[in-house]
Amino acid sequence: MTRHVAIVGCGNVGGALAHSLINKGIVNELTLIDSDLNKVTSHATDLRDALVALDEHVTIRVNDTAAMLSADVIVVALGPRTISTLDRLAEYASNKASIIELAHTLHAADYDGIVLNITNPCDVITQVLQQESGLPASRVFGTGTALDTLRLKRVLSELLGVSPADVAGYVAGEHGDSQFIVWSSLRVAGQAVENSLSDELKAQLEKQVADLGSDIYAGKQCTEFGIAAIATNICTAILTDSRRVFSVSVYDREAGCYISHPSQVGSFGLGKRFTLHLNASEQRKFRHSADIIGQHAVL
């Protein structure tokens, strides 16, 4: 059975994702696409060396559009070209032209696989990809706040001295500054924690989670391992049809934009959406986040 992933954009994130996919034995075909031929060719050679140590066989192709269009999953991981700080919304202008070109290629080929977007601003770019490609919204979605949710689980588990696996909850809204923690539905070992933490502490934790991307970027000028890991998990869910639930960026008709919801992911793309029951304060935050995304998701 073919398990084929194509990665468009092989910078830090795309390279980390490619290594993660082969390291976990998830794929047997990998197509790497990048405008920097030297870099993408070197990535492919480096990965082939790693395959010997891993005792895995993966067919790796470079800048092969036909191969990309035959992939089960196309992961879009284009990085900023001119941005010197981690301003996700500012990256839109840098990536817009390349995203539209890719979307038109998918449209012309009537691509029948799944498109997973990482490129920032994630929600805005995912919406442009879907609109310009004309692909069903069920087969075009973004990593959204899946990474932020992982960060929440780590931070809260460290604070409370429990395993991250015992933290059940989500970060909602934009993958960006307006994201928020859904405290009303968050559970630790099955117990609600909303009323056991002070408002001050909850505000500090929310800011800490939202700022983690910027903090990591400030230290090493990139953020790749966390996003590569969660993107690998999402690709695995697609390729194995495990139907796991992730907080991914999906089209919300009522909000009028792509925004994160806990959603089932499988070989079909998006399945059941598990809409969170937000309290009044969280609903206002969600609407604010949707308004910010909507202001930018204009072609």
Q: Which residues are catalytic?
A: 175
Q: How many helices (H) and strands (E) does the chain have?
A: 9, 14
| Cα–Cα distance for residue pair 213/202, rounded to 1 Å | 19
Determine how many CB atoms are found less than 10 A away from the CB of residue 200.
8
Q: Print burial letters for 43-65: b (CB count within 10 Å at least 16), e (below 16).
A: bbeebeeebeeeeeebebbbbee
Helices 122-133, 280-296: inter-axial angle, 10-degree rounding: 60
Residue type for position 30: L
What is the number of residues in the chain?
299
Report whether 146 contacts 163 (CB < 8 A): no
Cα 248 vs. chain centroid, distance in angstroms? 7
Retrieve residue 156's tokens. 């809260």
Retrieve residue 202's tokens. 């909850």
Tokens 């990965």 belong to residue: 47
Query: For residue 179, which phi and psi values (nearest 5 degrees)?
Result: -60, 160
Residue type for position 202: K
| Cα–Cα distance for residue pair 185/160, rounded to 1 Å | 17
Q: Beta strands 187-188 and 191-192: pairing type?
A: antiparallel
